[in-house]
Structure 1
């Protein structure tokens, strides 16, 4: 199926590709794609750059690389990948650091926007999943503890039978199923860019610490044989909410998305965001470019405008994200603040650092506000890539509130332990701050006035969601209705309000009856 659906898309083709030759010893050189299908069969390398020096194509050496990329200059992972790809009988290889001119901002922006096509059209993606950096290599050594042992056994007819045995290999899928790769055993899969490289490609061969693991749209296979060929006659799992863990390669594929209902697609995108934001990026600005390929594929299914990681057709539901705790094991302080450089409007999950989560009730939320306008300005031609600015114009019920900082240990504070709103004191609620509002350039002092916008209501639990907003003074427009997001509230419906309408609940909370138009940046 994945071979039959592989159609070449010249307009999205990489500008350059490596010609690695057919035999060992052949020169490696960078070639330009010229519009025909001469280079249609190629392999991509998915790898982690790490801290080791990475050989890159730059403006100063691109001409030299067209002549030849010196073999001795190639890091170990690149050399071993080239040797492996030649054994497959494939002549062309795409490696990001060599096929994109890294110090040319326009070339990088243009080529990175093609990631969806580059990886989805590859014959195979080779993933150096267990490599820490480019010098770690593709092939792993299991060590003497996995050596093969032989046992001879005499049969009744006098013949001797030899039995071979060794220690069992650790099953790589066990690592990958835990937070989709967030373990030290598979360091490559902890990287944000790798996420879309894995799920865009029809076929991935992972080189793990002890075994090879194969993923494609139809099956998963491994050397240890824990996971063999699946039963093609079995029905797909009914519970799509769990499938992103049990079968991520299928769940995050366009082929699967085309089979889903609107509500299932909502849930699928929320799961994608949750998994992606657990991963690491070297450059903060890459938060949207690193999933632009997946966003384009998803957009072809949902047919909606893409807005800084959210979708216009499900905008209210997509606004319900909250920061999913601060990871004490990785916390160096930066995760508690917004990125130093602006990269997304405050209403986007891309505006915060660290993992985010959506409530289970987000899909199918009943909107309590009206979306009047939404717009994002791209830094280049790619609407799913890096942004310059963005805003939302909403009309809904807005109430003023007073911020109170929660008391507690600064080092242990969680996002739901930072913020308390006085007018909600008598309600059962969870209020998540988007960042540590007590310090830094975006500090919100205790006692400051903020605003709460009634966003939506869950048809299942009856929970109500409010956006917490503050005046966006940095905009310089003088418009008091221009706000920025600093958090979100989940209100649990009290028993006395169990049968009441959302309107009655809002009145009880003190929301004015008149709707207000606001702009959120």
Structure 2
């Protein structure tokens, strides 16, 4: 084998007589090795292809070589031990935590000490090897702002949990404890990991929230943002389809062989076999992190975005993810990145530290808006077992966003740019969105995407946020030249704010109304710019007139020379709730029209129509 400056180059061993001796082709398929300060690489991946008249594709082998220059070389996962349990691997978790607490200021706790946390925790102890004590305890007297604790993020999986906390058994769980043997395997693994890393407290939703007490459930679910943000580590059972599959970590693993360096100054290294044919074990691991069962669940989105540190348990190993790094236990994945809301906050500190809305720049505020609608799009495509959890499952993200920006939540929308937020769009593909639609006249508030049953539509914001800002360097990029005015947003929750029913909420708004025929498409095979929301019957064709309400309009420079600038106006399509009452309307659709823009000497632009004050329900 020949050493090359960035690993190993291929070496072809050719036999003159392939029927008597094999031909061996060795390829370096290493991707992005990490170099230390001395230029030593941390790993290499070699693919070995024997070619002989009796060999097949199955005879190909791939080997990972991990060197002493890598961060993970001395971790148990690269030892020659055949079986490693949670206790043996806990040293790696503690190393990650120590490094994060010492060197990652962006991962430190930013909660105020008066923020209310969980009402109860699970106290765990290992009384003797493999004998565990688990007891529900009230959090009064426990300083959860400073005491380390772990929270479990997992998929329930549509199966009944034999030991969830109810009004009937909570006294027993307090006094006697919870039988460890009755816990589903995922919970048992969480207890083992918690004790192995030296923690005493664990939070699991089904055990720490009284499941048949609606008031307790609303109160505790509203604290989700604080619970996950304050947690020292979030343990994610990333690969498990339900609570009985465990954390997916088998003590058995691929065998590893360690070698001493061949000479003075050379590095020791370890080797193990890996997957061949284009998809390495690292590729598979990244796929498990991206597409694991936990990422299909709506509740888990806030856990992913709000946690400071996530310990992913996948089929083969642990993966550490904080606001600074993502690293696999074997060191083959090491990335400096973060997609959490906390990470976004660090990059936009002028927003979340501002005390007054006037202090926040429009560009920074729009950046948060853009990120918010990314969350909404992700959230709307995840599954939710209980339809009534639609609001509660997003409440943690809403509360944290509110704290960072100083903005006020308006049932899935935001007050600062409420006129723009009202321009959301929904799509229903019956092949993908299988949850039945709510009858339109009972969908309230009609002005928010959240009143659609979760899973019945796909939601996104179609506006390009950068177009709303004036660009001084381009003469006709004027940004917003017209927008309606919000007179009052009256949000009414039936119970706990953010987690209960807001169907009585209304918005009083002033703007330009106009009755219009449906515009024709700009060209064939293209939909009309007027689009009705899913569930609204489309029976009028091109002859029906609709009530339109102009939300906002912005102007952009022409694409071609000698063209005029263009103005794009976004309208709500409305329907009076009562034929005789033309002051109260429900949303039934949206329209976006782009036309040539001519000011005509007017001091400001106003769409065609009549100014009205109306109430959206």
For Structure 1 versus Structure 2, the TM-score category normalised by the shorter chain is: 0.7 to 0.9
Q: Distance in 2 between matches of 1:425 and 1:377?
A: 39
C-alpha change, 1:298 and 1:385, in structure 2 (3 Å) is farther
> Which position in structure 2 is the counterpart of 1:57?
165
> Which position in structure 2 is the counterpart of 1:169?
281
Secondary structure at 2:418 match in 1: helix
> Which position in structure 2 is the counterpart of 1:248?
339
User: Are 1:289 and 2:384 matched, yes or no?
Assistant: no
Q: 1:322 aligns with which of 422, 425, 436?
A: 425
> Which position in structure 2 is the counterpart of 1:481?
583
> Which position in structure 1 is the counterpart of 2:77?
none
Q: Distance in 1 between matches of 2:547 and 2:298?
A: 34
C-alpha change, 1:294 and 1:152, in structure 2 (3 Å) is closer
Q: Distance in 1 between matches of 2:118 and 2:263?
A: 64
Q: Distance in 1 between matches of 2:184 and 2:602?
A: 61
Q: 1:338 aligns with which of 435, 438, 450?
A: 438
> Which position in structure 1 is the counterpart of 2:132?
26
Q: Distance in 2 between matches of 1:201 and 1:217?
A: 9
Give the alignment of 1:357-376 within 5 angstroms. Answer: 357-362=460-465, 364=468, 366=480, 367-376=482-491
> Which position in structure 1 is the counterpart of 2:50?
none
Unaligned runs of 5+ in 1: 231-245, 402-421
> Which position in structure 2 is the counterpart of 1:112?
221
Moved more, 271-280 or 131-140: 271-280
Task: After TM superposition, give the deviation of residue 499 of structure 1 in Å.
Answer: 6.3
> Which position in structure 2 is the counterpart of 1:89?
198
> Which position in structure 2 is the counterpart of 1:43?
150
> Which position in structure 1 is the counterpart of 2:306?
200
> Which position in structure 1 is the counterpart of 2:42?
none
Task: After TM superposition, give the deviation of residue 217 of structure 1 in Å.
Answer: 1.4
Q: 2:415 aligns with which of 304, 312, 330?
A: 312
Task: After TM superposition, give the deviation of residue 122 of structure 1 in Å.
Answer: 0.4
Cα shift readout 1:66-86 (whole Å, capped 9, x = no counterpart): 121112221110001111111
The TM-score, its normalising length taken from structure 2, stands at: 0.67
Q: 1:258 aligns with which of 328, 343, 349?
A: 349
Contact 1:46 1:127 in 2 (8 A): yes
> Which position in structure 2 is the counterpart of 1:270?
373
Q: Distance in 1 between matches of 2:459 and 2:540?
A: 24
Give the alignment of 1:393-412 within 5 angstroms. Answer: 393-401=508-516
C-alpha change, 1:362 and 1:209, in structure 2 (3 Å) is same
The TM-score, its normalising length taken from structure 1, stands at: 0.78
Task: After TM superposition, give the deviation of residue 5 of structure 1 in Å.
Answer: 3.1
Q: 1:424 aligns with which of 509, 514, 519?
A: 519
C-alpha change, 1:251 and 1:270, in structure 2 (3 Å) is farther
User: Are 1:351 and 2:457 matched, yes or no?
Assistant: no
> Which position in structure 1 is the counterpart of 2:507?
392
Contact 2:282 2:333 in 1 (8 A): no
Secondary structure at 1:519 match in 2: strand
Contact 2:440 2:535 in 1 (8 A): no
Task: After TM superposition, give the deviation of residue 517 of structure 1 in Å.
Answer: 1.4
Q: 1:434 aligns with which of 512, 529, 533?
A: 533
Secondary structure at 2:340 match in 1: helix
User: Are 1:465 and 2:550 matched, yes or no?
Assistant: no
Q: Distance in 2 between matches of 1:502 and 1:437?
A: 38
- Output the aligned Cα RMSD: 3.4
Secondary structure at 2:242 match in 1: coil
Q: How many residues align?
A: 459
Q: Distance in 2 between matches of 1:444 and 1:484?
A: 18
Cα shift readout 1:453-512 (whole Å, capped 9, x = no counterpart): 111113446321111111224xxx963321111111111224xx46679999976xxx43
Cα shift readout 1:15-57 (whole Å, capped 9, x = no counterpart): 1110112444232111011144178321000111112222310
Q: Distance in 2 between matches of 1:485 and 1:468?
A: 6
> Which position in structure 1 is the counterpart of 2:120?
16
Task: After TM superposition, give the deviation of residue 279 of structure 1 in Å.
Answer: 1.3
> Which position in structure 2 is the counterpart of 1:490?
592
Task: After TM superposition, give the deviation of residue 64 of structure 1 in Å.
Answer: 1.2
Secondary structure at 1:116 match in 2: helix
C-alpha change, 1:284 and 1:68, in structure 2 (3 Å) is same
User: Are 1:73 and 2:182 matched, yes or no?
Assistant: yes
Secondary structure at 2:133 match in 1: coil
Unaligned runs of 5+ in 2: 1-104, 275-279, 352-363, 469-478, 557-565
Structure (1 or 2) with the larger CA radius of gyration: 2
